[in-house]
Amino acid sequence: MSSLSSGSPSGFESLLPHILCFEHCGKKVFSVSSLPEQCPSCSTDLLDCDLKIPPFAVPSPFKRAIDFPCSIVIKPTTGTFLTDYTNKSNLHIAVTDSRGEVVEFDQHGLHRERSLEWNQCLVVGLAEAEPLVADMVGDPDWGEYWDLCLDRTLAKDWSSHAYRIEPASLH
């Protein structure tokens, strides 16, 4: 299989596990990094059977927050999307400053020192927003303004007592 790196300056994407897909017994199956020996649906040995859709790899949609300055980032509150996330898991949302450092509010309060915990997150870039926002983000001084707003927010009294974990619900 070919490399799935998307050409990030850091080359980090090539280090993320690939998501492998195939179809067997009428089910589409997704696997992380390697194919299972048996079909998770019917337990057939996958090495000795025909697959309707042969295995193929797709690049991981998960990114390293530090590579995306001035963005909104999302990850599971506990663990990672690829190994721990279920549709009942809570998500944690943060923003990055102009250097890609994560600014987050959690049970410990508001802080910006745990960027390494954001190595497999979804990124919402502000430039993809509505045209007015895209114009603001395109301004050469945008990063400086973004950091000023974050610094002012960090300077406020953000008590960890205000943090509440709400159970995930499906509405």
Question: How large is the average pLDDT for residues 90-101?
Answer: 92
Task: Give yes or no for residue 53 having a pLDDT over 80.
Answer: no
pLDDT for residue 23: 84
Question: How large is the average pLDDT for residues 18-35?
Answer: 81
- At 21, is the secondary structure helix, strand, or coil? strand
Question: How large is the average pLDDT for residues 73-88?
Answer: 87
pTM over 0.85: no
**Selection from 27-31, 81-85, 87-91, 157-161 with the highest mean pLDDT:** 87-91
Domain chopping of the chain, boundaries: 19-58, 65-162
Residues 128-143 have pLDDT tens digits of 777 788 888 888 899 9
pLDDT for residue 46: 83
Please state the three-class secondary structure of 62-119 as a single string: CECHHHCCCEEEEEECCCCCCCCCCCCCCEEEEEECCCCCEEEEECCEEECCCHHHHC
And the tokens for 95? 């923003």
